[in-house]
Structure 1
Amino acid sequence: MHVDVEVEAVIPFPCEEVAAYAGDPTNAPEWYANIQSVRWRTPPPTALGSKMDFETRFLGRRLAYTYEVVDLEPGRRLVMRTADGPFPMETTCTWEQVAGGTLMRLRNRGAPSGFAKVAAPVMAKAMKSAMGKDLDRLAQRLANR
């Protein structure tokens, strides 16, 4: 079973500001609840081919994986992909200026294997909940800067 989860929210800040902050993986531990650390393998800033190591905690398990930026339209779209670990995944962030701020979409999709494959339905539900809260945290973080 594949997992494909998408959430969206209007973040009440200009698109350039939201995309610059959310599109910088260095900031991910500040607004993604499950991401504990990010370490760059290639020099920042984010560019096509950039690689970084992520350490996360999800459903009580520690996961470590390397993401690579595979698609980038600065200020509009960022796609990162990993083939590491029990849950190879692709994460897509998009930003669009709308009335009231920036419509941000966050999508995670992948094909889990092993234990993760069996737990895919539970994982998808937990991911959707966590991702919605992450977008709320992002808005709060931007408001407090």
Structure 2
Amino acid sequence: MTIDVTAQRAIPVPPEEVAAYAMDWRHDAEWTQGIRTAELTKEAPGGGFGAGAEVTRTAYFLGRRIDYVLRVAAHEPPRLLDMVSVAGPMPMHVTYSFEPAPGGTLARIRVRGGGGGFYRLAGPFLARKVRGNLDKDLRDLEARLTGRE
């Protein structure tokens, strides 16, 4: 079973502000469903966060603890952050994109992946759950940036 789920939301904040917050791994646990910790475990070749950097996350999904590492494949602020898993229970590709929109930003998150074992058995339920989580992530992102928490 593979999933390919996208969620998007118009956020009444400029793209530079949305991207600066959302692309900063130090904020992951504040607005991303299930993430308890995120740590920069490998810097980009030029130092800091950018293409080639790796972030290790601990999350809970469907009651299970998941530890995984995402490598930054593309980092083009304020437009794009693209990450692929290099360690974890299943292959995963996460893309955050931010486009100017009337009155603010169109924020989009896309998650693609293939599930093995338990996740393969979950079938369509898994895709629905991921979609629900992404929708909530974007609502929480907007609430944090607009002060409407």
TM-score range, shorter chain: over 0.9
Q: Work out whether 1:61 is the aligned partner of 2:64.
A: yes
* Map of 1:20 onto structure 2: 20
Q: Deviations over 1:40-73 (max 9, x none)?
A: 1124742000111100001111000111001121
* Aligned 8 A contact 1:86 1:114 in 2: no
- Structure 2 distance, partners of 1:129, 1:58, is 12
* Map of 1:139 onto structure 2: 142
- Structure 1 distance, partners of 2:84, 2:11, is 24
Q: Work out whether 1:42 is the aligned partner of 2:45.
A: no
Q: 3-state DSSP class of the match of 1:83?
A: strand
* Aligned 8 A contact 1:86 1:116 in 2: no
> Which aligned segments of 4 or more residues in structure 1 are displaced greater than 4 angstroms?
none
Out of 85, 105, 110, the position equivalent to 1:107 is 110
Displacement of 1:84:
2.3
Q: 3-state DSSP class of the match of 2:67?
A: strand
Q: Deviations over 1:64-92 (max 9, x none)?
A: 01110011211101101103232210100
Displacement of 1:106:
0.3
Q: Which amino acid aligns with 1:130?
A: N
Out of 86, 91, 99, the position equivalent to 1:88 is 91
Question: Any unmatched runs of 5+ in structure 1?
Answer: none
Q: Which amino acid aligns with 1:21?
A: Y
Moved more, 6-15 or 118-127: 118-127
The two structures have a TM-score, normalised by structure 2, of 0.92
- Structure 1 distance, partners of 2:80, 2:106, is 12
* Aligned 8 A contact 2:9 2:106 in 1: yes
- Structure 2 distance, partners of 1:71, 1:11, is 23
Q: Which amino acid aligns with 2:86?
A: A
Aligned residues: 145
Question: Any unmatched runs of 5+ in structure 2?
Answer: none
RMSD between aligned alpha carbons? Answer: 1.4
Out of 118, 129, 132, the position equivalent to 2:132 is 129
- Structure 2 distance, partners of 1:3, 1:101, is 29
